[in-house]
């Protein structure tokens, strides 16, 4: 769900980003569950074909930013490729960080697109700067994991979709600023 939701939100803002999904415990080759598709549809997204894949060191190596559902997932990818811990966050962590950076006047100038910067150059610079600020800005509570709804009711899928949607909206809003 998160991959397609982020992809669709980014497209609405014409953000030049590439989004992909891989799982630390994926059932490789499985399609999106019907409950995930329904939860996305209920929130106004258009589910598209999805085939699950396992996370690999190569995928991590090629990423500029990795968003995970849980702290355990983030720990697992750090074990897989230690340097990936520099640019990996839970979705909640990154949403809190970007929300703070957007709201705090000290950082507003730093995170504005410069006149001669392309949107892609700006996003790469902003992402690198945000990553450097991890742990240096107050984000209040510990990160909140995204619950794995697999095997649960449609209601749980809807709650998870809402949680993801809210956090991704904060992130995309920051990227589009």
pLDDT digits (tens, 9 = 90+) for 3-13: 999 999 999 99
Domain extent listing, the chain: 2-176
Cβ-proximal residues to 57 (8 Å cutoff; 6+ apart), any chain: 80, 81
Cβ-proximal residues to 43 (8 Å cutoff; 6+ apart), any chain: 5, 158, 161, 162, 165
C-alpha 174/C-alpha 108 separation (Å) is 10
C-alpha 68/C-alpha 158 separation (Å) is 19
For residue 88, report the phi and psi dihedrals to the nearest 5 degrees.
-115, 140
Domain 2-176, CATH class in plain words: alpha beta
Contact by Cβ (8 Å): 6, 18: no
Output the pLDDT for position 113: 86
Instruction: Find the mean pLDDT for residues 119-123.
Output: 92
Task: Tell me the two tokens of residue 1.
Answer: 């769900």
Query: Mean pLDDT in the chain?
Result: 92
Output the pLDDT for position 63: 95
Task: Tell me the two tokens of residue 31.
Answer: 């399609």
pTM: 0.92
Contact by Cβ (8 Å): 47, 12: no
Is it the case that residue 111 has pLDDT exceeding 90?
Answer: no
Number of Cβ within a 10 Å radius of residue 111: 19
Number of Cβ within a 10 Å radius of residue 58: 9
Give 16-34 pLDDT, tens digit per residue. Answer: 999 999 988 767 878 899 9
């Amino acid at each position: 769900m998160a991959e397609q939701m982020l992809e669709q939100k980014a497209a609405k803002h014409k953000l030049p980003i590439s989004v992909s999904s891989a799982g630390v415990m994926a059932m490789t080759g499985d399609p999106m569950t019907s409950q995930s598709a329904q939860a996305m549809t209920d929130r106004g997204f258009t589910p598209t074909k999805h085939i699950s894949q396992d996370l690999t060191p190569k995928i991590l190596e090629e990423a500029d930013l990795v968003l995970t559902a849980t702290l355990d997932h983030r720990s697992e990818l750090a074990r897989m490729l230690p340097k990936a811990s520099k640019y990996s966050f839970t979705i909640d962590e990154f949403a809190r960080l970007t929300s703070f950076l957007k709201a705090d006047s000290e950082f507003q100038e730093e995170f504005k697109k410069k006149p001669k910067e392309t949107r892609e150059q700006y996003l790469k610079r902003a992402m690198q700067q945000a990553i450097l600020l991890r742990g240096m800005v107050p984000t209040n509570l510990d990160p909140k994991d995204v619950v794995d709804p697999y095997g649960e009711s449609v209601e749980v899928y809807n709650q998870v979709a809402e949680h993801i949607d809210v956090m991704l909206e904060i992130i995309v809003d920051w990227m589009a600023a």
